[in-house]
Amino acid sequence: MTEQFSREEWLKIDLFTRLHRSRFRMRFTLKEADLTYIEEKGMEVIRTHAEEIVRKRLAPAMPKNDGKQTPMRGAPKGHPVFLAMHATATCCRGCLSTWHNIPQGRELTEREIQYIVKVILYWIEKNRKKEY
């Protein structure tokens, strides 16, 4: 990113526009095994998995192994939600703070949990349809 923005200006830019500008975030895509897994399980199960993962790995004020708690691999040895979490910067509390302005050091609210799940599912749907 060649343009320089203040943190406040940067956060006002649409999240997915900002993510598109990150070479690291853009490298994550769903592979054939992920697509098969999603097709077999269905999006409602994927949503349930996403919510469980967020509650377990991100919601606590001080998550265990924060910054290392989300593997960078999808199916079959990982989960498509893990890829989506890295692609959307919802993988750790540091990224949530930097990219989503969700403070560290306190438990996530129910509203924040639901927001994170929606961001993850949006990315999965867009990536699944090759729109992203």
pLDDT truncated to tens, each residue of the chain (132 aa)?
446 778 788 888 899 999 999 999 999 999 999 999 999 999 999 999 999 999 999 999 998 877 776 777 776 677 999 999 999 999 999 999 999 999 999 999 999 999 999 999 999 999 998 876
> Are 55 and 61 a contacting pair, CB within 8 Å?
no
- Structurally, the chain folds into a number of domains equal to 1
Query: For 84-101, what is each residue's pLDDT tens digit?
Result: 999 999 999 999 999 999
In a domain, 24, yes or no: no
In a domain, 14, yes or no: no
In a domain, 11, yes or no: no
In a domain, 1, yes or no: no
Tell me the whole-structure pTM to 2 decimals: 0.89
In a domain, 13, yes or no: no
In a domain, 9, yes or no: no
Please, what's the b/e burial string for 85-97 (b: 16 or more CB within 10 A of its CB; e: otherwise)?
bbbbbbbbbebbe
Boundaries of domain holding 65: 29-128
In a domain, 8, yes or no: no
